[in-house]
Structure 1
C-alpha cells in the first residue's frame, strides 16, 4: 500500500442556510478535481454556514446530504470529510462525517461548542475523540473551536494526520494561523486546516487561510487568502517515521488522563 496520501482541500464560499445550493456548488468543485485523490476535505457546516438556527437546515444520517456524500465518495473513490448540522434523538449536533468510497461512515461530534456565538445553547457537545483508519493512515478529525484546546488534540493515539474544518472569522485569523502550526509541531503530525471564505448571513467575514503543515511545522500548500480555491497536498508517511524516530519528542510527553 502506498505510503503517500493525496488530500484535496476545498476552500469555498457557502450559501447561507441552503443545503441544496451548497451541494450543487460543492458537486461542481469536487468534479473539477482533475487528478485522483485519497481524501477530499470540506469546511465546517458546509451545507449551511455557521448557523445558530439548526432547525432550518438539520438533516438525519439518512438524509439527502449523506446520500450525496456516499455518491460522491464512490464516484471519486475518495474519503470525503466535512461537518453539517445533524438532528438525532431530539438533539442537534455539529457533526463531522467522514464518508468512504465503500459507504462506511465515521462521525465526530464537535467537542468544544463555541460559547461566544451561543453554539452551546443549541447544539449538543460531543464527548468522544475519534481516530479514523483509512488507507493505513490514522486520521484525527476535529472542528473549528476545538483548535483552541490542545489537550483534546494531544497525540496519545500515534495518529498521522490532524484535520480541522472551520468557519473561522477573519477578525481572529491570527489565532487560526498560529494554533494550526502549533498543533502540527507539538503532535509531530501532518496538520490540515480547511476554512471557508466570504460573508455569512450574520455579516461575519471569512478569509480562508486554509493550510497544510508537515510534522515540523513547515507549510506545504500554496492556497490563496480571501478567495475560493482547491489544492492537492501529498503527505508522506515516511516523513513522519523519519522525524519521530530521529527526534523522539512524543516519547517525552507528560503522562495525565483527560476526563470529559
Structure 2
C-alpha cells in the first residue's frame, strides 16, 4: 500500500466551447507537471467551459477526450481526472472521468446540476457515487455544485480523499473556501478542490482558490493565480488523525433512497 500520493492541481483558464484547442492547451500544462506526480486534476468541463449549450458540442468529442486522457495518463505515468460535456443516447451529462496510466477508466455523473444556471434543464443528473482505489487511497470524486450538499458527500464509504472539480465564480468563492474546509473536517479526510481562473464567454470571472485540506482542516496548498499546484498527501498522517480522533465512528448511519 502506498504511504503517500503526489497530486497536481491544474488551475487554468478554459477556452470557450473549443475542445480541440483545450486539449492542446492542457497537453502543454500536463507536460510541465513533475515526473513524480501520481494524479493530475483538471477543472470541471475542461474542454468547453461551463456551457449551457451542450448541443453545440460534437457528440464524438467525449470519446475523443477520453482517448486523449488515456494517452496523457500513459505518457505521464499518472492518473488524470476532470469533467467534460458528454453526449450519450441523445442525453447530455456533466461527466467526470478518472483515467489511470494502465488505461482503466472510471466515470461519475454530476449529481447536483446547477439550477441557478439552468444546468438541470440541459444535463441529466447522476445517481451513483464513485469510489476509485488508486495508489493505496480510496478517492471519491465529485463536481462543483455537489460541494454544497453534505449528505451526498458524507463519508459512508470510508474514503480517504474527497475531491471536487469546479467552475466556481468569484462572487461566491468565499463559500467554496469554507465548504472545502468543512467537508475535510466533517468527513475526516483530505479534501481537494480544483477551480478554473479567467473570464468565460458569459462574463463570469473565476479566481481559482484551488486548495487541499487535511482531516483537521489545515490548508496544505492554495492559489488564486493561474498555475499548477503540487502537493503530497500522506496516508499515515490521515490514519494517525483518525485513530486519535474517532469521530467517524459516531457518524449517523443512513441510506440515500
Superposition deviation, residue 33 in structure 1: 1.1
Partner of 2:237: 239
Distance 1:45 1:208 in 2: 15
Please list, as runs of the form range in 1=range in 2, the aligned pairs for 1:75-154 lying within 5 A after superposition.
75-154=75-154
1:66 Cα deviation from its structure 2 partner: 1.0
The answer for the alignment partner of 1:67 in structure 2 is 67
Aligned-residue offset at 1:60 = 4.5
- Taking structure 1 as the reference length, the TM-score comes to 0.96
Normalization by structure 2: what TM-score?
Answer: 0.98
CA distance in 2, matches of 1:58, 1:217: 41
Deviation at 1:62, TM superposition (A): 6.4
Distance 1:205 1:176 in 2: 14
- Give 1:59 deviation, angstroms: 4.0
Q: Could you say what the CA RMSD is over the residues aligned between the two structures, in angstroms?
A: 1.1
Take 1:58 and 1:258, find their aligned partners in 2: how far apart are those partners? 35
Q: Deviations over 1:178-233 (max 9, x none)?
A: 00000000000000000000001111110000000001000001x431x2100111
Post-superposition, which runs of at least 4 consecutive aligned residues in structure 1 deviate over 2 A? 57-63
**Structure 1 alignment gaps of length 5 or more:** none
**Unmatched 5+ residue regions in structure 2?**
none
Per-residue CA deviation, residues 161-193 of structure 1 (Å, 9 max, x unaligned), is: 011000000000010000000000000000000
The alpha-carbon distance between structure 1 residues 59 and 9, as it changes in their structure 2 partners (threshold 3 A), is farther
Distance 2:205 2:78 in 1: 30
Matches within 5 A, 1:1-260: 1-60=1-60, 63-221=63-221, 223-225=222-224, 227-259=225-257
